Structure 1
Amino acid sequence: MPAPSVPLQKLGFLTIGSFDGADPGPGHETTLRVIELGERLGFDSAWVRNRHLQYGISSPVAVLAAATQRTRRIELGTAVIPLGWENPLRLAEDLATVDVLSGGRLNPGVSVGPPMHWDDVKGALYPDTADVEDFSYERVSRLLRLVRGEPASTFAGREGVVEEWSDRVQPHSPGLGRRLWYGGGSLRSAQWAGEQGVNFLTSSVVKAEAGSTDFAGIQRSHVRAFRAAHPDGDAARVSQGLVVIPTDSATADQRDRYAAYVAARTPRTTSPQGPARLLFARDLVGTSEQIAEQLYAHAGFQEVTEVVFALPFSFTDADYEQILTDVATRLGPALGWRPTT
């Protein structure tokens, strides 16, 4: 296994937070326990996905508010909140509140575009304004301006006997704007994120652009375009997210199930999918040594010093404990990372 030229600096994980629709409480509790486990294992960050009208976390900000009270050190992120479902002003208030509760540990990740199944949900989501809603990058810009403390109102001051009004989002958390991430899968998104001076999340999905179907090469081009456009240049923060499943301490049954899971998902990685020509990265399964070798050979991984490995969907609690433990104690150190105590 080749030695890393630059040790991995930050290691995080991502969970979808699955639950049973007939009894959602245990699934949400599992998500919180997984985050607690991540902190005990020394991970730098824990991230939650956003799944509207599905059996996964629909309100990541609320879940992370609970997580702030059960952790003390680990950073908490969203990967990602689709802003097509959100009012930027209200979201800015929620994000700032959770950041204050966490002591400045929140890393909000967002994206833009029309909500999925737009024609099916627009009547419930925007019954009066669906035809005029703006789902462009400007929706992120609005959120960023509000989070950074730019005016949200033309009125400020005392009204009545005790009411004090602010012209900006309250509470205001000064460092939150520097911890906002944009999740993008296209070259234009990467360039735009760099121009805005935000951080960049690149995941296991990219667009097949310019005729290329080389996932790793495309991801590398996105990272380089982002940093070329960012005021911080090569120091601009990028996090790569792939699905990795180490099997070092797995049982025989777990190894069989993990292999079947990866085999079922592999066909979609062989060619661009759908009208958007989406390319999916292969899930990485094997020993930590085997996975590390594959990562060192990955053109996208070679560009980053931060990763957020995604936990697979629909695994058991014991599976997640085994995977996270192996990532923290074996794969992370094989990549030059050291846990935070």
Structure 2
Amino acid sequence: MKNIGFLSFGHWSDTPYSATRSAADVLLQSIDLAVAAEELGADGAYYRVHHFARQLASPFPLLAAVGARTRRIEIGTGVIDMRYENPFYMVEDAGAADLISGGRLQLGISRGSPEQVIEGWRHFGYAPAAGESDADMGRRHGEQFFDLLAGKGFAQPNARPMFPNPPGLLRLEPHASGLRDRIWWGSASNATAVWAAQRGMNLQSSTLKQDESGEPLHIQQARQIRLYREAWAAAGHTRQPRVSVSRSIFAITNQTDRDYFGRGESGDHIGVIDNMRAVFGRTYADEPDRLIDQLRGDQAIAEADTLLLTVPNQLGVDHNAHVIESILTHVAPALGWR
């Protein structure tokens, strides 16, 4: 059995064939797609975060709005770039969004990915400490955010506060109990997957990974997941971790699907991203029977408990709901995911 959700990058462009011509289109359609996915029986609505781009950027207003419009579906990110974040303020935003959703928030965070601008985090007021890289800063912000979610008091109360204080040191409010167990680290390497396990975060592994062996993505990713689980067990954490992988999967069930996705890629690609040699996963696109056979061989999907389907959001809510429904109806049962 697997949790199956969607992952939207939230693109918009004012072009003739785009159903998302503006930021308002993307935001409102992102909410509507989450509602539709919940009605179809999907388990999660996840959104990517990019700054200085015509894509979704500020996740918490969107997550809160989705939480208010839905009742069951998990709501998350994949991922928030922690180089841009104030961990203290983020705890407050995340706590509020989680409470609005009734405890359904699943936050994916990471040290960040290649940017639209040079050192964009500096414009947000952040800079690495002496001897740090920007990646180190992102991990430091991530650890601080994760620690603050425990809800322990740390701030000395004012002797003459505006409002009465509870006894002892004060914590950030609102506190969302249980949210700390629903934080995921987006990892592109084996080493950072182990790092996340040691600290007690869940694992998100996307459609690309550092090429550490020259093997296909799904084989390297499956090894990454096994290393993560081994490190989790060695760390002695008391709960079971969660692991997600992202995939571009399209079941071709009509002529429109064939027109959009009928030329699916048959293999992985190798490229350089952020000075890292990376393996990029293939697009799975075929008629359901052949698609099922192909997906049976994906070792990383087999290792993960959660599958995030990347959706082409610029095709609009109706077609993306159809993409999700096709997987849930024609593919997932045959593979034992449902």
Report the TM range for the smaller structure's normalisation.
0.7 to 0.9
**1:37-87: per-residue Cα shift (whole Å, max 9, x none)?**
011011111111112111211112210111111101111011110101111
Identity across the alignment (%): 26
The residue that corresponds to 1:38 in the other structure is: 37
Compared with structure 1, are the counterparts of its residues 297 and 164 closer, same or farther at alpha carbon in structure 2 (3 Å cutoff)? same
Residue in structure 1 matching 2:211, options 208, 212, 217: 208
Which aligned pairs between 1:1-341 and structure 2 lie closer than 5 A? 8-20=1-13, 23-113=22-112, 116-117=115-116, 119=118, 121-126=120-125, 130=127, 132=129, 135-153=137-155, 155-156=156-157, 159-160=160-161, 162-164=163-165, 167-209=170-212, 211-230=213-232, 231=236, 235-248=240-253, 250=254, 252-260=255-263, 262-263=264-265, 269-274=268-273, 275-312=275-312, 314-338=314-338
Compared with structure 1, are the counterparts of its residues 14 and 113 closer, same or farther at alpha carbon in structure 2 (3 Å cutoff)? closer
**1:202-232: per-residue Cα shift (whole Å, max 9, x none)?**
11110011x4232111101110110001135
| Paired residues of 1:193 and 1:199 also in contact (CA < 8 A) | yes
Task: Give 1:115 shift.
Answer: 6.4
Q: Distance in 2 between matches of 1:26 and 1:119?
A: 28
Task: Give 1:235 shift.
Answer: 4.0
Aligned residues: 321
The residue that corresponds to 1:4 in the other structure is: none
Q: Distance in 1 between matches of 2:322 and 2:218?
A: 27
Task: Give 1:30 shift.
Answer: 1.0
Q: Distance in 1 between matches of 2:113 and 2:211?
A: 20
Q: Distance in 2 between matches of 1:215 and 1:114?
A: 18
Compared with structure 1, are the counterparts of its residues 178 and 234 closer, same or farther at alpha carbon in structure 2 (3 Å cutoff)? closer
What letter matches 2:39 in structure 1?
R
Compared with structure 1, are the counterparts of its residues 15 and 287 closer, same or farther at alpha carbon in structure 2 (3 Å cutoff)? same
Task: Give 1:158 shift.
Answer: 6.5
Compared with structure 1, are the counterparts of its residues 103 and 241 closer, same or farther at alpha carbon in structure 2 (3 Å cutoff)? same
Q: How high is the TM-score relative to the length of structure 1?
A: 0.86
Q: How high is the TM-score relative to the length of structure 2?
A: 0.87
| Paired residues of 1:191 and 1:226 also in contact (CA < 8 A) | yes
Q: Distance in 2 between matches of 1:226 and 1:175?
A: 22
* RMSD across aligned positions (CA): 2.4
Task: Give 1:131 shift.
Answer: 5.0
Q: Distance in 1 between matches of 2:96 and 2:279?
A: 36
| Paired residues of 1:82 and 1:115 also in contact (CA < 8 A) | no
| Paired residues of 1:228 and 1:234 also in contact (CA < 8 A) | no
SS at match of 1:109: strand
**1:284-335: per-residue Cα shift (whole Å, max 9, x none)?**
1112332222221112122123211111353333321210111222222222
What letter matches 2:171 in structure 1?
R
Q: Distance in 2 between matches of 1:292 and 1:329?
A: 12
| Paired residues of 2:261 and 2:285 also in contact (CA < 8 A) | yes
Q: Distance in 2 between matches of 1:296 and 1:234?
A: 28
Q: Distance in 1 between matches of 2:204 and 2:246?
A: 7
**1:136-188: per-residue Cα shift (whole Å, max 9, x none)?**
522211011111113342x1366345353762111111100011111101001
Q: Distance in 1 between matches of 2:110 and 2:182?
A: 15
| Paired residues of 1:158 and 1:164 also in contact (CA < 8 A) | no
